[in-house]
Amino acid sequence: MMHQADHPPQPSSQPMDDPRFERFAAKMQAAGVPPLAIRIFHFYYQQLLAGATGYISQDEAAPVDTLPDYTDLGDRQAEIGQKALERAVVLKLNGGLGTSMGMDGPKCLLPVKGELTFLDIIVKQVLHLRKQTGVRLPLVLMNSFNTVEETREALQRYPELEQDIPLDFLQHKLPKIWKESLLPAEWPADPEKEWCPPGHGNIYVALLTSGMLEKMLDAGYEYAFVSNSDNLGAVLDTRILGHFVEQRLPFLMEVAYRTAADVKGGHLARRPDGRLILREISQCPPEEQAAFQDIERYRYFNTNNLWIHLPTLREVLQRHDDMLQLPLIRNEKPVDPTDLDSPRVYQLETAMGSAIALFEGAEALRVPRSRFIPVKKTNDLLVLWSDVYELTDGYLLRLTPDRPPEAARRPPLVFLDDRYYMLIADLQERFPHGAPSMRRCLELRVDGNIYFGRDVVVEGKVHLKHEGSEPLHIADGTVLGPETTPFAPSL
């Protein structure tokens, strides 16, 4: 049978009238959270009360060795993908605020190449593909309650993006939970901080409750390419689409080789029954952290670029009583992300990639690093600001051709001192003239309070270290290379 779906676990039989949960249910109902989302939250809350940590031990997560490779795909897959393009949708996860970098608005509206934001580049990529191929290719955003209004306003600049299905649907919001009492968090100083997104694993139920899944199916769409809005390397590729269609896959995860920069990212593993699974670092028992971060043992990380066969998704949801019961991720954070000393809460989340275990025949595909260009920290942002990447006519990010031979296929590794560069405002203050030239940089480490002048060039591996109490300034036009380290204050 094509796209055979997994048999579901039995749904939770816990009563919904649990006295402790009643306060959550009332709060969610008052906020207009759909009944299905409340039922799913109840399922995970019961796990929390039972002491669940969401840990997946290495006994349940064996390393993965061989995988199909993107480089083996060719003209046949491209031709198949081209024919299937009329039935494909580009779906971007757009719920993030970038609070870890000090942002309080949608991360997608952050300028990354000149004046172009993530959203600008994503829209231009889709419009270019439409023009190039003549297909109706829609762009759909999954917004959060934090991003929906500003993102919709920004999209008004692109009336040509009009399409036969809505441009967005809304991710649910869930109550934060006090760590000590396990009751709903209350924060009168800013009641919005009492709520959190439920992780991108919420995409499946949000597609259902918003009606977006049925709208896509009714309009004749069968294939969804899903990725993060802060990953500009995630562009619809007809060869991968062709592979997905040719192999009649229900679900495909793009993975890449892990590097030293990926040790804390979710990695691909295999269950004892042979099914592929995704394991996030928050799901790793503390005593197994070293093994989790061993990039030779667990070789592949999840790029969060996923391909989903939409009719099979509907079937899987129906088989699971609309509850996929993805593995719990129990995130502990301060109730106010801007105040690290504020009381601690739990956020109950799931990862969309973990659904790979629920689809019989789901696969992973090893892809080049160029399909993963995320911005999680200001380190990543500095690289995008620099001349390491250039935009093609189709608004694709490409590494500059004069990268050093030993790093021709990867960007430089950048490590900036969190004490001085963690927030975007701090980064802008210390790079007032923009990023230095890093075309021939292999690695840049900056320790200490250092300001960069105009037209600074970084080449090779450079480690700048300054321990003084006063800021150190690098003069305009300075060329920094391995020979300048350890850093000489006279420069």
For 90-107, write each residue's pLDDT tens digit.
Answer: 999 999 888 788 888 899
The pLDDT tens digits of the residues spanning 242-264 come to 999 999 999 999 999 998 778 87
Residues 333 and 344: their CA atoms lie apart, in Å, by: 6
Compute the average pLDDT of residues 401-412. Answer: 89
Of 325, 348, 371, which residue sits at a domain end?
371
CATH of the domain at 420: 2.160.10.10
Within-domain flag for 79: yes
Within-domain flag for 259: yes
Does residue 257 sit in the same domain as residue 402?
no
Residues 82 and 480: their CA atoms lie apart, in Å, by: 46
Compute the average pLDDT of residues 149-171. Answer: 96
Confidence of residue 16 (pLDDT cuts 50, 70, 90): low
Does residue 51 sit in the same domain as residue 199?
yes
Within-domain flag for 174: yes
> Which of 15-19, 145-149, 275-279 has the lowest average pLDDT?
15-19
DSSP 8-state symbol, 449: S
User: Strand 344-349 and strand 329-334: pairing?
Assistant: antiparallel
Give yes or no for residue 2 having a pLDDT over 60: no
Residue 477 CA from chain centroid, whole number: 36
Dihedral of alpha carbons 183, 332, 357, 322, sign: positive
Compute the average pLDDT of residues 108-117. Answer: 94
Q: Cβ of 178: how many Cβ atoms within 10 Å?
A: 16
Does residue 71 sit in the same domain as residue 204?
yes
> Which of 97-101, 299-303, 349-353 has the lowest average pLDDT?
97-101
Question: How many structural domains are present in the chain?
Answer: 2
Compute the average pLDDT of residues 386-399. Answer: 95
Question: Phi and psi at residue 45, in whole multiples of 5°?
Answer: -65, -40
Does residue 224 sit in the same domain as residue 265?
yes
Within-domain flag for 104: yes
CATH of the domain at 159: 3.90.550.10
Instruction: Look at residue 184 in the predicted model and tell me its pLDDT.
Output: 97
Within-domain flag for 11: no
Does residue 343 sit in the same domain as residue 444?
no
The pLDDT tens digits of the residues spanning 423-451 come to 999 999 999 999 999 999 999 999 999 99
Cis amide bond preceding 486, omega within 30: yes
Any residues with CB less than 8 A from the CB of 411 and at least 6 apart, and which? Answer: 373, 383, 388, 389, 399
Instruction: Look at residue 260 in the predicted model and tell me its pLDDT.
Output: 77
Does residue 354 sit in the same domain as residue 408?
no
Does residue 61 sit in the same domain as residue 175?
yes
Any residues with CB less than 8 A from the CB of 366 and at least 6 apart, and which? Answer: 67, 68, 69, 70, 255, 256, 257, 300
Tokens representing 357? Answer: 């275990």
> Which of 11-15, 266-270, 337-341 has the lowest average pLDDT?
11-15
Of 371, 395, 421, which residue sits at a domain end?
371
Of 337, 371, 405, which residue sits at a domain end?
371
Residues 424 and 38: their CA atoms lie apart, in Å, by: 36
Does residue 287 sit in the same domain as residue 383?
no
431 or 410, which is more confident = 431
Give yes or no for residue 37 having a pLDDT over 60: yes
Give yes or no for residue 368 having a pLDDT over 90: yes
Instruction: Look at residue 52 in the predicted model and tell me its pLDDT.
Output: 84
Does residue 103 sit in the same domain as residue 220?
yes
Confidence of residue 485 (pLDDT cuts 50, 70, 90): low
Give yes or no for a contact between 23 and 184, defined as CB atoms under 8 angstroms apart.
Answer: yes
Give yes or no for residue 489 having a pLDDT over 70: no
Residue owning tokens 């198949």 = 80
Does residue 282 sit in the same domain as residue 309?
yes
Indicate the pTM of the whole model.
Answer: 0.91
90 or 274, which is more confident = 90
Residue 290 CA from chain centroid, whole number: 23
Question: Phi and psi at residue 449, in whole multiples of 5°?
Answer: -90, 90
Question: From residue 130, how far is each of 137, 165, 236, 245, 330 by CA, in Å?
Answer: 6, 15, 11, 20, 40
Instruction: Look at residue 96 in the predicted model and tell me its pLDDT.
Output: 87
The pLDDT tens digits of the residues spanning 170-202 come to 999 999 999 999 999 999 999 999 999 888 999
Does residue 383 sit in the same domain as residue 364?
no
Residue 422: give the domain boundaries. 378-484
Within-domain flag for 304: yes
Compute the average pLDDT of residues 314-341. Answer: 91
Within-domain flag for 387: yes
Instruction: Look at residue 325 in the predicted model and tell me its pLDDT.
Output: 87
DSSP symbols for 44-90: HHHHHHTT------GGG-B------BGGG--HHHHHHHHHHGGGEEE
Tokens representing 155? Answer: 């999209």
Give yes or no for residue 1 having a pLDDT over 50: no
Does residue 344 sit in the same domain as residue 416?
no
Question: From residue 453, how far is each of 6, 170, 447, 483 by CA, in Å?
Answer: 58, 43, 17, 19
Within-domain flag for 2: no
The candidate with the shortest Cα–Cα distance to 189, out of 23, 332, 30, 336, is: 336
Dihedral of alpha carbons 419, 423, 429, 430, sign: positive
Q: Which amino acid is at 291?
A: A
Compute the average pLDDT of residues 285-314. Answer: 94
Give yes or no for residue 491 having a pLDDT over 50: no
